[in-house]
Structure 1
Amino acid sequence: MTKILILYSSLGDGHLNAAKALYEAFSQNPEVEVRIEDALDYASALYRNTIIQLYKQLSEKVPLLYRAYYEGTDTTDLETSLDDNLSVAKLERLFFNKLEQLVIEFAPDAIVSVQQIPGRLIQLVEEKNQLAIPHYVVITDVIAHSSWLNYGINAYFIPSQLTANVLIQRGADPSLFQVTGIPVKLEIIKPKTQAEVRLKHNLPLNTPVVTVFGGGLNSKRVRTMVSELLSLLSEAMIIVAAGRNETLLEVLEDLEETEQVQLRKLGLIDYVDDLIVASDLIITKAGGLITSEILARNTPMIIVDPIPGQEEQNADVITIAGAGIQLRLIEMVGPAVEYLLKDRERLAQMRQVAEKVGQPRAALNIAEYILNNIVSQTVSEVSLINVETVQNSELSIQT
Structure 2
Amino acid sequence: MRFLILSTATGEGHNSASLAVGKALEARDCETKVLDVLKLKKESVSRRVSDLYAGITVHSPRFFSKLYRIGELISSPGGHSPIYGLNTLYADRLFEEITRFRPDAIICPHIFSAQAITHLRRGHGLKLPAAGLATDYTCIPFWEESSLDSYIIPHAALKQEFASKGISPELLCPLGIPVQPEFLKHVPKEEARRSFHLTASHIFLLMGGSMGYGDIDRIAAALTEAIPDSQAVVLCGNNQELLHRLIPTEKIIPFTYTDRVAELMDAADVVLTKPGGLSSTEAIAKRVPLVLTQPIPGCEQRNAEFLSSHGAAVFRQDIKDIVSAVRELALDEGAAENIKEAQKKFWPDDTNERIADYLIALASRTVGCKVQ
Query: What TM-score does the superposition give when structure 2 sets the normalisation length?
Result: 0.89
- Asked if structure 2 preserves the Cα contact closer than 8 Å seen for 1:137 and 1:153, the reply is yes
Q: Are 1:217 and 1:305, in contact at CA under 8 Å, matched by a contact in 2?
A: no
The Cα shift of 1:113 comes to 0.5
Contact 1:182 1:289 (8 Å CA) reproduced? yes
Aligned to 1:227: 221
Q: Percent identity?
A: 24
Task: Output aligned runs, 1:52-201, within 5 Å.
Answer: 52-75=50-73, 81-84=76-79, 88-201=83-196
In 2: Cα distance, 1:49 partner to 1:66 partner: 19
How much does 1:140 deviate? Answer: 0.6
Deviations 1:251-296 (A, max 9, x none): 111x533xxxx43332221111111122110111000000000011
Partner of 1:141, secondary structure, is coil
Q: How big is the shift at 1:33? A: 1.9
SS of the aligned residue for 2:162 comes to: helix
Count of aligned positions = 366
Q: Answer yes or no: is the 8 Å Cα contact 1:183–1:361 preserved in 2.
A: no
For 1:162-221, what per-residue CA distance to the aligned partner results, in whole angstroms no more than 9, with x for missing partners?
2212122344322211111111002233344324433444434x82211111444447x2
| 1:362 matches 2:351 | yes
- Look up the SS of the partner of 2:27 in the other structure: coil
2:308 & 2:48 partners in 1: Cα distance?
A: 35
Residues 188 and 360, structure 1, Cα contact 8 Å, conserved in 2: no
**1:303 positional shift:** 1.6
Aligned to 1:256: 249
Deviations along 1:278-321, one digit per CA (max 9) or x if unpaired, are 21101110000000000111111222221100000001112222
Match of 1:394 in 2: none
The structural deviation recorded for 1:360 is 4.3
Unaligned regions of 5+ residues in structure 2, if any? 368-372
Structure 2: distance between partners of 1:252 and 1:46: 31
Cα distance between partner residues in 2 of 1:54 and 1:263? 30
Distance between the aligned counterparts of 1:146 and 1:325, measured in 2? 26
Runs of 5+ unmatched residues, structure 1:
379-399
- Equivalent residue number for residue 19 of structure 1: 18
Note if contact 1:184-1:360 (Cα within 8 Å) is conserved in structure 2: no
Q: Secondary structure at the match of 1:184?
A: coil
Distance in 2, matches of 1:136 and 1:305, equals 31
2:236 aligned with 1:247, yes or no? Answer: no
Name which of structure 1's ranges 334-343 and 223-232 shifts more when overlaid on structure 2: 334-343
Assess, with a 3 A threshold, how the Cα gap between structure 1 residues 218 and 140 changes in structure 2: closer, same or farther: closer
**Match of 1:188, as an amino acid?**
F
Q: Kindly indicate whether the alpha-carbon contact (under 8 Å) linking 1:212 and 1:284 is maintained by their aligned counterparts in 2.
A: yes
Q: What is the CA-CA distance between 1:348 and the residue it aligns to?
A: 1.7
- The structure having more radius of gyration, on CA atoms, is 1
1:43 equivalent in structure 2: 41
1:5–1:305 CA distance, 2 compared to 1 (3 A): same
Distance in 2 between residues matched to 1:98 and 1:376, nearest whole Å? 26
